[in-house]
């Protein structure tokens, strides 16, 4: 199996550094109490994300390359000479020479790690660019707020209105057939928004109140005439009764008025009355 430097792991949060698979740290972690840095202006420096800058620490590709490739084999000249001499002695003794081959394999393994690191880093950079581009495209997709269609530009950080839908008041005014911007159209929009507090509603309330007041006045006139007619009929009836009593007076009674006594008829058929003590003939 080919051996090489361990690939760095993911970044652990803000300023968390990068780590190898075995847990050893590749890039140092930043101090948590580091001073705050002002955000760079939009469009400055490297390509920015949809929010004007990445929310994570950028990946350290140099540290990753160093971890993948590892240290280059350091073979000195005297080691090469010694390897040649050792291989010569081994061949003279009938053994397989391995010293020079070991040096060559170390060099070859280092070159293999360099090629692998270059391929892996290129793959990571492509994936990082693809993810960033996908995030920018998602951020730039038009979105809807209310009845407006908006679009966000990740490069400038500005939002533009792509389509503005009609509001309910505008639909109401357009339905009435008024020209947009005309005085009638504006009044219709105002009426829809203000509803019962609008000028048209107030004017109609006044018209209804005037109509109601007119009806009340007319009804009160009818009632007054009826009352006057009934009073005239009552007075006429009273005058008729007085005239009848004057024309037909009650018969007068002679003598002093006294209380009526009980009367009866005796056995002889004579009419008698009770005077309080006995029955006496009626005079």
pLDDT values of the chain reduced to their tens digit, one per residue, 283 residues: 444 444 444 433 334 444 444 445 544 444 444 333 343 343 344 444 444 454 456 778 888 888 888 877 777 777 767 777 777 787 777 777 777 777 777 788 888 888 888 898 999 989 988 888 888 888 888 889 888 999 988 778 888 999 999 989 999 999 999 999 899 999 999 999 998 888 888 888 999 999 999 999 999 999 999 999 999 999 988 888 877 777 777 666 655 556 677 888 887 888 888 888 888 888 7
Q: What phi, psi does 197 have (nearest 5°)?
A: -100, 0
**pTM of the predicted model, to two decimals?**
0.35
Tell me the CA distances in angstroms from 141 to 50, 159, 162, one per residue in order. Answer: 11, 11, 11
CB atoms under 10 Å from CB of 48, counted, come to 20
DSSP string, 71-137: PPP---HHHHHHHHHHHHHHHHTTPPP-HHHHHHHHHHHHHHHHHHHHHHHHHHHHHHHHHHHHHHH
Helix 99-140 × helix 61-69 angle, to 10°: 150
Q: Which two tokens stand for residue 63?
A: 């540290």
Q: 88 CB contacts (<8 Å, ≥6 apart)? A: 97
Q: Where do the domains of the chain lie?
A: 1-24+48-140, 145-196, 204-243
> How far is residue 85 CA from its own chain's centroid?
85
Phi-psi region of 32 (alpha: psi -120 to 50; beta: other; left: phi over 0): alpha
Residues in the chain: 283
């Amino acid at each position: 199996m080919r051996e090489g430097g361990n690939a760095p792991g993911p970044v652990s949060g803000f300023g968390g550094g990068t780590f190898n698979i075995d847990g050893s740290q590749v890039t140092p972690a930043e101090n948590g109490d580091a001073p705050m840095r002002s955000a760079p202006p939009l469009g400055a420096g490297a390509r920015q994300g949809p929010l004007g800058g990445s929310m994570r620490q950028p990946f350290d590709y140099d540290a990753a390359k160093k971890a993948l490739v590892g240290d280059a084999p350091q073979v000195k000249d005297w080691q090469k000479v010694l390897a040649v001499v050792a291989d010569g002695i081994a061949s003279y003794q009938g053994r397989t020479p391995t010293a020079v081959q070991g040096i060559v394999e170390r060099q070859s393994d280092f070159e293999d790690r360099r090629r692998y690191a270059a391929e892996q880093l290129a793959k990571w950079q492509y994936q990082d660019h693809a993810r960033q581009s996908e995030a920018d495209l998602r951020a730039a997709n038009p979105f809807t707020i209310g009845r407006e269609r908006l679009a966000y530009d990740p490069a400038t950080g500005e939002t533009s209105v792509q389509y503005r839908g009609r509001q309910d008041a505008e639909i109401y005014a357009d339905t009435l057939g008024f020209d947009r911007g005309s005085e009638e159209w504006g009044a219709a929009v105002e009426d829809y928004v203000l509803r019962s507090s609008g000028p048209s509603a107030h004017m109609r309330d006044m018209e209804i109140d005037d109509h109601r007041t007119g009806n009340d006045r007319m009804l009160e006139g009818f009632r007054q005439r009826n009352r006057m007619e009934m009073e005239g009929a009552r007075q006429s009836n009273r005058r008729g009764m007085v005239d009848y009593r004057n024309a037909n007076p009650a018969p007068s009674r002679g003598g002093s008025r006294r209380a009526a006594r009980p009367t009866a008829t005796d056995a002889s058929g004579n009419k008698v009355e009770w005077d309080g003590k006995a029955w006496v003939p009626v005079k």
